[in-house]
Amino acid sequence: MAIPPLIKPDNLTLAWYNKSTGKWVAIPAVVDVNKGLILAKVQHFSNYAVFAREPAKSFADITPNSFGWARNTIETLAGAGIVAGVNGTHFEPARAVTRAEFTSLLVKALRLQTKTYTGNPLKDVRADDWYAGAVTAAYDAGLVKGYEDGTFRPDSTITREEVAAILVRAMKLQTTEQKLPFTDRYKINSWARASVATASTYGLIKGLPDGTFRPDVTAGRAECAVMVYRMLTNY
């Protein structure tokens, strides 16, 4: 059984259909995520189904008038445990996202197993860094890469073109040299052009209302959440 990426295993329920009452009755079950199984002891033959709750979590700083375009997405991801607020009530949707933060978000969204840091070519990632396990997992999976000098620059903010390139790698999409639809396409770095074009074709990224993409602009928390959500719903 494949568990949808936006559903937490804890929110799955196994139930059987009681024909006499016309209702579904929940029964105790254990979810084995690694094997994709739900294990339960059944007492009789009947119709069984797996139901999933889709809780949502709201934040005081995301309203119809403030980042309303990202509200439903962020609340859904928060309910699924993929994103979290900076505290119990606020999300800070405009705050810049670092490369380490985005990598950790991606690893959580894809349910990759974080790995114990045993050393890798990224010379500025240390074993005691909070993001070391996630970065190692993402690096080993080919989702992120270092710079020519061997650094990862985890504390640097991530740009929109970098996000596009990582999402294309995560979905294992075949990049093609297509014409970019953005008016500022000449600003997109050569290494990112094919990825940006592919991400645009698959709807993972979109331009701004003025027709630009702004590839070198830092991606904010709301933007990253929305782009990861698009990846998950197209994965």
Contacts made by residues 35-41, CB under 8 angstroms, sequence distance 24+: 36/1, 36/2, 36/3, 37/1, 38/1, 38/12, 38/14, 40/14
Domain residue spans of the chain: 9-52, 68-234
**pLDDT tens digits for 143-188?**
999 999 999 999 999 999 999 999 999 999 998 777 898 999 999 9
The mean pLDDT value for 50-62 works out to 80
Going by the DSSP 8-state scheme, the letter that residue 180 receives in this structure is P
Nearest CA among 4, 8, 110 for reference residue 53: 8
> Can you give the pTM of this predicted structure?
0.79
List of residues 6+ apart from 150 with CB closer than 8 A: 121, 122, 123
Q: Give the integer Cα–Cα distance in Å for 172 and 129.
A: 28
Distance of CA 176 to the CA centre of its chain: 23
| Per-residue burial over 43-76, b = 16 or more CB atoms within 10 Å of its CB, e = otherwise | eeeeeeeeeeeeeebebeebeeeebeebbebbbb
**pLDDT tens digits for 1-38?**
456 666 666 666 677 788 888 878 777 777 776 666 77
